[in-house]
């Protein structure tokens, strides 16, 4: 007997019979692209909005943004403005109108439907990421961290972790002491007081004033303000928070060009340290010696600032503190002779790093120039191509003066890196941006206190975040 084979009813027939099967409308949308827009609309309506996540995924996969538009009015009437705004947001995002999309998601993000609220914030965060506004993206993600649906949990976690990496937060990347160290500058800049304002001429003027007060320097300040004005116009930025985000990312971009590792590729590596008296040269040498020793380098100091006995003694104190050897001469000894002795000594003992302290009398430039050239010659004769690093120590408190000092030293010798001290004691931390932008010399270290551990490798993200974030 032939069993009568009942043809499996087509989805359409089943839905004709009973349209209230939202999952089936989804399936129809996936199988029949021509009917997909109407099917997605029905899936959404018959599920009373619960299938918004699945509907938006199919909409995105099939790029049916134009085709869904005719159904938005009915969706708004039956489900509400939050749903139609979210879908319009998807359409604008697809078209690359990020600002418009964000405004539409803003309407949907407070929806009663937790999933719709999550999706709207998630899309807002993604748009901020696309525009490089990482802090705002992170804030948007943080707002929804307890609303993440299972289907998004991995993707959400990865995105959040990536942002934490970019922003250098979480973990101990922005160390407390560093943030404290920059408190005076952060307070002086007072950028958080500019939050929630409209973007207008008075805001730009106030921002300009604060940047100059923090010693960013007129040239760099005007460059930054000019950039912000152009970008605010191009991106149609209305709120100060987005503008400040842009400023932060621009400063990071600027400072990244000044990031540099200490050059220790040779053995031994000779580091020549320059700087006028009082900037913190000896202290910085002590801190650096300790840091390198902690990294298993064997370090020797050469007291080639023989002009004053006090300088020799002071270096001895720091050598003691850091637990490293020191080679010195008598007060008044030829500095190059001290360096020669130090070189013979480390050649005999096979140490890794020689840090040479030099005199800091810039007022007698001719003499200083002769001294430094002679020292460099002795070093170069013994170790061709060295010194490996010529580190100029500048005092952040001296503000724009530090720049003229740096320019003077650059006339005497090439400078391969800067150590900027006393950032903790100054409200003029903006000098870091000015030095970077004016001198184009890598900033290798910043000093943030008198203690031996108060020397940080310069990290543009860490520095900028510490300037901006409370
Ligand atoms: N707050 C603070 N003080 C610092 C920092 N670096 C150095 N100092 C202080 O600045 C003063 C001068 O430091 P020195 O290392 O003696 O400066 P120098 O360049 O060697 O000066 P001379 O010894 O005269 O050659 C000292 O009191 C240091 O403790 C820093 O990063 N923060």
Per-residue confidence (pLDDT) for residue 171, from 0 to 100: 47
What per-residue confidence (pLDDT) applies to 463? 85
> Helix 22-31 and helix 36-46: axis angle, to 10°?
160
Domains and their CATH numbers in the chain: 11-167 (1.25.40.10), 173-257 (1.20.120.140), 269-460 (3.40.50.300)
422 is in an annotated binding site: yes
Residue 424 marked in a binding site: yes
421 is in an annotated binding site: yes
Is 306 annotated to bind a ligand? Reply is no
Residues with CB under 6 A from ligand 1: 275, 277-283, 311, 314, 360, 421-422, 424-425, 447-450, 454
pLDDT at 294: 85
- Burial of 381 per CB tally in 10 Å (0-12, 13-18, 19+): exposed
Largest CA distance in the chain: 120
CA 319 – ligand 1 centroid, Å: 15
Q: What is the dihedral of CA 292, 298, 302, 308, to 10 degrees?
A: 60
Question: How far, in Å, from the CA of 277 to the mean position of ligand 1?
Answer: 9
Residue 101 CA to ligand 1 center (angstroms) comes to 53
How far is it, in rounded angstroms, from Cα 466 to Cα 436? 17
Q: Using most ligand atoms within 8 A of CB, pick from 450, 452, 458 the residue to mutate for ligand 1.
A: 450
8 A C-beta contact, residue 128 and residue 121: no
Angular region, 421: left φ>0, alpha ψ -120 to 50, beta rest: beta
Residue of the nearest CA to atom 7 in ligand 1?
280
Pocket test for ligand 1, best of 280, 312, 313 (most atoms within 8 A of CB): 280
- DSSP strand pairing (389-395 vs 417-421): parallel
H-helix or E-strand containing 104?
helix 98-108
Q: For 2, list phi and psi in degrees, rounded to 5.
A: -75, 125
Gap between the Cα atoms of 274 and 18, Å rounded: 85
Beta-bridge partner residues of 390: 272
Residue nearest to atom 26 of ligand 1 (CA): 280
User: Helix H segments across 295-364?
Assistant: 309-322, 335-349
77 contact partners, CB below 8 Å, separation of at least 6: none
CA distance 126 to 25: 29
Q: Is 277 annotated as a binding residue?
A: yes
Please choose, from the candidates 116, 129, 120, the residue with its C-alpha nearest in 3D space to the C-alpha of residue 159.
129
Minimum CA distance residue for ligand 1 atom 3: 450
**Atom number in ligand 1 closest to CA 454:** 31
Q: How remote is the CA of residue 448 from the centroid of ligand 1, in Å? A: 11
CA dihedral 436, 438, 439, 440 (to 10 degrees): 60
| Alpha-carbon gap, residue 277 to 271, rounded angstroms | 18
Q: Is 374 annotated as a binding residue?
A: no
- Assign 419 to helix, strand or coil: strand
135 is in an annotated binding site: no
Residue nearest to atom 1 of ligand 1 (CA): 449
Is 280 labelled as part of a ligand binding site? Answer: yes
- Contact status, residue 18 vs residue 42, Cβ threshold 8 Å: no
CA of 305, closest atom in ligand 1: 25
Q: Which residues contact 445 (CB under 8 A, 6 or more apart)?
A: 284, 288, 391, 417, 418, 419, 420, 455, 456, 457, 458
**Model confidence, pTM:** 0.66
pLDDT, position 341: 96
Q: Report how far ligand 1's centroid is from the alpha carbon of 459 (Å).
A: 22
Going by alpha carbons, the residue nearest to atom 21 of ligand 1 is 278
Angle at 326 between CA 325 and CA 330, to 5 degrees: 155
Separation between Cα atoms, residue 191 and residue 211, nearest integer Å: 9
Distance from residue 283's CA to the centre of ligand 1 (Å): 5
464 is in an annotated binding site: no
| Rounded Cα gap, residues 291 and 273, in angstroms | 16
Nearest to 23 by CA among 68, 57, 64, 55: 55
Ligand 1 nearest atom to the CA of residue 447, by list position: 31
Q: Are 81 and 92 in contact (CB under 8 A)?
A: no
**Is residue 436 within 8 Å of 460, Cβ to Cβ?**
no
> Which protein residue has the closest C-alpha to ligand 1 atom 13?
280
Cβ count near 7 (within 10 Å): 6
pLDDT tens digits in sequence order for the chain, 470 residues long = 455 566 767 889 999 999 999 999 999 998 888 899 999 999 999 999 999 999 998 888 788 888 899 999 999 999 999 999 999 999 998 888 888 999 999 999 999 999 999 999 999 999 988 887 888 898 889 888 888 887 887 788 878 877 877 776 654 444 566 777 788 888 888 888 888 889 999 999 999 999 998 889 899 999 999 999 999 999 888 889 889 989 999 999 999 999 888 999 888 999 999 999 889 999 999 999 999 998 889 999 999 998 888 889 999 999 999 999 999 988 888 999 999 999 999 999 989 999 999 988 877 888 888 899 999 999 999 999 999 999 999 998 888 888 999 999 998 899 999 999 998 877 788 889 999 999 989 999 999 888 888 898 888 888 888 888 76
With 0-12 / 13-18 / 19 or more C-beta atoms within 10 angstroms meaning exposed / middle / buried, residue 11 is: middle
Distance CA 279, CA 398 (A): 9
């Amino acid at each position: 007997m032939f069993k009568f084979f009942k043809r499996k009813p087509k989805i359409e027939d089943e839905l004709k019979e009973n349209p209230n099967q939202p999952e089936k409308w989804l399936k129809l949308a996936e199988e029949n692209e021509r009917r997909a827009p109407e099917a997605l609309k029905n899936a959404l309506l018959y599920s009373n909005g619960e299938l918004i996540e699945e509907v938006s995924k199919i909409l995105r996969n099939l790029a049916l943004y134009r085709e869904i538009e005719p159904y938005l009015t009915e969706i708004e009437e039956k489900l509400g403005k939050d749903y139609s705004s979210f879908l319009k947001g998807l359409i604008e995002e697809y078209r690359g109108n990020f600002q418009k999309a964000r405004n539409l998601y803003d309407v949907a993000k407070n929806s009663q439907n937790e999933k719709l609220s999550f999706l709207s914030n998630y899309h807002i965060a993604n748009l901020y990421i696309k525009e490089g506004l990482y802090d705002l993206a992170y804030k948007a993600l943080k707002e929804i961290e307890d609303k993440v649906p299972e289907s998004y949990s991995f993707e959400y976690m990865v995105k959040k972790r990536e942002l934490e990496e970019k922003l250098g937060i979480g973990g101990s990347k922005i160390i407390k002491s560093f943030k404290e160290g920059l408190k005076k500058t952060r307070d002086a800049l007072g950028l958080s007081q500019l939050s929630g304002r409209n973007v207008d001429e008075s805001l730009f003027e106030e921002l300009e004033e604060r940047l100059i007060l923090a010693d960013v320097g007129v040239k760099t300040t005007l460059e930054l303000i000019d950039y912000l004005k152009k970008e605010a116009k191009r991106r149609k930025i209305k709120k100060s928070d987005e503008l400040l985000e842009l400023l932060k990312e621009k400063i990071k971009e600027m400072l990244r060009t000044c990031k540099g590792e200490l050059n220790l590729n040779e053995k031994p590596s000779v580091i020549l340290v320059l700087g006028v008296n009082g900037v913190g040269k000896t202290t910085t040498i002590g801190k650096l010696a300790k840091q390198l020793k902690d990294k298993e380098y064997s370090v020797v100091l050469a007291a080639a600032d023989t002009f004053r006995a006090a300088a020799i003694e002071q270096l001895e104190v720091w050598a003691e503190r850091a637990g490293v050897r020191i080679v010195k001469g008598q007060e008044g000894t030829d500095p190059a002779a001290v360096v020669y002795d130090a070189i013979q000594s480390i050649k005999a003992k096979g140490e890794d790093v020689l840090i040479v302290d030099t005199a800091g009398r810039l007022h007698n430039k001719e003499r200083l120039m002769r001294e430094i050239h002679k020292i460099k010659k002795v070093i170069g004769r013994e170790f061709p191509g060295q010194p490996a690093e010529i580190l100029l120590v500048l005092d952040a408190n001296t503000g724009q003066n530090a720049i003229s000092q740096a320019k003077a030293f650059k006339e005497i010798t090439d400078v391969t890196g800067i150590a900027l001290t006393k950032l903790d004691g100054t409200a003029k931390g903006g000098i870091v941006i000015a030095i970077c932008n004016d001198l184009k010399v890598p900033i290798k270290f910043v000093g943030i206190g008198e203690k031996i551990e108060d020397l940080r490798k310069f990290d543009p993200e860490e520095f900028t975040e510490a300037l901006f974030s409370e």
